Amino acid sequence: MSEPTPQGPVSLYVYYKVAPEQREAALIAITRMQAELVRDVEGLQASLMARSDDATPGAPVETWMEVYRHPQGLSAATEALLTQRVHALASGLIGQRHTERFVELAVQASSH
């Protein structure tokens, strides 16, 4: 088997912290933003997750992650639209966003 190589469409993983007092407002705002993006970009898939080990009652913050995928990958226009929508969110609602791009690993079968 040969070494796996990254290839295919890019997916975005965006994570940030949410304070408990902002949880409800952040959940409403983020899910609304994602629903609008999915409506406006045909084929876009969006999900929202919370880090499971942050779920301790009384934890000072939670880590959330938004995931964006598209069968053809995310275009520059889609990323720009996402950035625009994020800037429209209320100030102080969520912590600093960190964005990472991932692609599937493809493994080529060896001819041996």
Query: Would you call 74 helix, strand, or coil by DSSP?
Result: coil
Q: Which residue has the higher pLDDT, 28 or 54?
A: 28
Q: Collect all residues with Cβ–Cβ distance below 8 Å to 92 and sequence separation of at least 6.
A: 22
Q: What is the pTM of this model?
A: 0.82
Pick the more confident residue, 102 or 53: 102
Residue range 5-106, CATH number? 3.30.70.100
103, 10 Cβ separation under 8 angstroms: yes
pLDDT for the residue numbered 47:
97
Quote the pLDDT of residue 65.
Answer: 96
